[in-house]
Amino acid sequence: MSARIIDGKAIADRVRAQVRADADAFIARTGVTPGLIVLIVGENPASQVYVRNKRKACLDLGWYSEIRAFPAEVSQSEVEAQIEALNADPRVHGILLQLPLPRHMDEQALLERIRPEKDVDGFHPVNVGKLSLGLPAPIPCTPLGIQRLLTEEGIETRGRLAVVIGRSNIVGKPVAQLLLRKGAGGDATVCVAHSRTADLPGLVRQADIVVAAMGQPEFVKGAWIKPGATVIDVGINRISDPSAPKGSRLVGDVEFAAAREVAGAITPVPGGVGPMTIAMLMHNTLECARRLSGDSA
């Protein structure tokens, strides 16, 4: 029997609807309109698309949002100055630095310039620390979206073995922290695997939940999946395919067709984790606006 397909777009639509309702109530209560500024450096085509989609999501909610674009050759100090100005701007509740950056820029130093209370991506060391301690703080959007997918689908995490493949600061490490937390969508036994893990197929075969986030197309084979397991595919990779309309197609980090025949539930690519990232960015922006305005309702 084929696995149940987890419809990330449908769940993201529900999240956005709830964010809209919560934001409308917040605006009516406080007179404050959430504001998000996205900073982008250079002309990376994928980043350009992501940035436009993020701003559009804000504007669709009636929020304040701008894109601040810089040429690839911009200096570190110019971007730092822009971040400092946004830190001080009361209209701005969220600041997002689109990654990747040109090689001459110090990514970590720029992320650390963002005021932690306005760090909607949850990448500032203060917020990373708070996540590990279970304290309130912005949580990276993709991991938060993954947890929401699991809870919305009624997938039990408590006491289950979750194997996270990938140890990035953006997905792997924070999603492991969320799955470890007490409460809904947490209480899992978590193993973080990576390129140096011995017998990765054998480890994955034990997992009740697999989160694949290593950025390698169709790396996780269907034969590795435990029957009935839940598979969350974070990857989005474009591969050559002469039979596809544009000569290429998008695939995830999991061998989808084979895994679907074994798993109990699986996210597709596209249409799985991807839509949740922007939905949770809207959630984070609203939460930052609430905290910065002192709203406790």
* Residues with active-site annotation: 54, 98, 121
- From the CB of residue 216, how many other CB atoms can be counted at a distance below 10 Å? 14
CB 6 within 8 A of CB 271: no
N residues, the chain:
297
Q: What is the DSSP letter of 84?
A: H
Phi/psi of residue 218, nearest 5 degrees: 50, 35
CB 248 within 8 A of CB 281: no
- Report the sign of the C-alpha dihedral through residues 158, 150, 180, 237, in that order: positive
Tokens of 215: 């950025």
In one-letter notation, the amino acid at residue 272 is G
CA distance linking residue 150 with residue 119, whole number of Å: 25
CA distance linking residue 213 with residue 195, whole number of Å: 12
